[in-house]
């Protein structure tokens, strides 16, 4: 925990050492390998997964049996099943590590208890909901008003590191295109602009 504490403090400066200790006491710190699954579709798991290091992808399987990546979570980002988190229903998504990662798995029941008596954790929750809302809206915006090529450029500009780190097949499905299409987009951009 001593390595991760400064990082958490950087990102959530209002959290004091005692808050973070409380957070860790109701959470599990898990180190996972690339390919390990943290949450499986169909399971009821209302945990929130906070990425301390590494990379997660969340995906669903569509009616043709293809995996669709719906979220890519890097350091300080979260991953969770909204279905499970809000309704205790089977998860619609699978969460899988695509890098060796260190994940803080926050038990939502214990967390809900904790925020009753801890204002800073309550603030963390409020911020979390808010940022989830903003992310979802932003992503909706990208998917509805931008073309695949515009989406790729936007993603590249916002997350230059991820272009290298995320395997193309996952990025393609995240951007809503096939791997072949993404290849074409990249070569088009490389040629001109």
Q: Site residues (CB under 8 A) for its own copies?
A: 60, 62-63, 68, 70, 82, 86, 92, 129-130, 132-134, 136-137, 139-141, 143-146, 150, 176
Shortest Å, Cβ 176 to its own copies: 7
Bridge-based pairing state of the strands 27-32 and 37-39: unpaired
Shortest Å, Cβ 145 to its own copies: 4
Closer to its own copies by CB, 60 or 163: give it. Answer: 60
Q: Report whether 27 contacts 19 (CB < 8 A).
A: no
SS3 content of the chain, % helix, strand, coil (to 5): 50, 20, 30
Residue 72 CA, distance from chain mean position: 5
Closer to DNA by CB, 43 or 150: give it. Answer: 150
Closer to its own copies by CB, 26 or 146: give it. Answer: 146
The whole-angstrom separation of Cα 98 and Cα 112 is 29
Q: Taking CB within 5 to 8 Å according to partner kind, which of its own copies, DNA, none is near residue 187?
A: DNA
Closer to DNA by CB, 21 or 66: give it. Answer: 66
- Which among 77, 72, 53 is positioned nearest to 167, based on CA atoms? 72
Q: Taking CB within 5 to 8 Å according to partner kind, which of DNA, its own copies, none is near residue 53?
A: none
Helical (H) or strand (E) element with 141: helix 119-145
Q: Taking CB within 5 to 8 Å according to partner kind, which of DNA, its own copies, none is near residue 139?
A: its own copies
- Residue 40 corresponds to which tokens in the numbers above? 């499986």
Shortest Å, Cβ 124 to DNA: 34
Shortest Å, Cβ 92 to its own copies: 7
* Alpha-carbon Rg for the chain in angstroms: 18
């Amino acid at each position: 925990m001593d390595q991760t504490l400064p990082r958490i403090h950087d990102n959530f400066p209002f959290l004091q050492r005692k808050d973070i200790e409380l957070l860790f006491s109701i959470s599990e710190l898990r180190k996972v390998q690339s390919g390990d699954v943290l949450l499986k579709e169909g399971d009821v798991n209302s945990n929130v997964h906070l990425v301390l290091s590494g990379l997660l992808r969340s995906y669903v399987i569509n009616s043709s049996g293809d995996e669709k990546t719906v979220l890519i979570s890097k350091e300080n980002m979260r991953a969770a099943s909204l279905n499970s988190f809000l309704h205790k229903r089977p998860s619609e998504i699978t969460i899988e590590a695509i890098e060796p990662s260190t994940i803080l798995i926050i038990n939502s029941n214990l967390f809900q208890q904790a925020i009753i008596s801890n204002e800073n954790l309550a603030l963390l929750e409020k911020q979390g909901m808010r940022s989830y809302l903003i992310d979802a809206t932003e992503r909706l915006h990208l998917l509805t008003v931008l073309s695949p090529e515009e989406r790729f450029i936007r993603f590249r500009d916002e997350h230059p590191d991820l272009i290298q780190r995320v395997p193309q097949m996952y990025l393609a499905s995240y951007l809503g295109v096939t791997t072949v299409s993404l290849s074409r987009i990249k070569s088009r951009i490389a040629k001109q602009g």
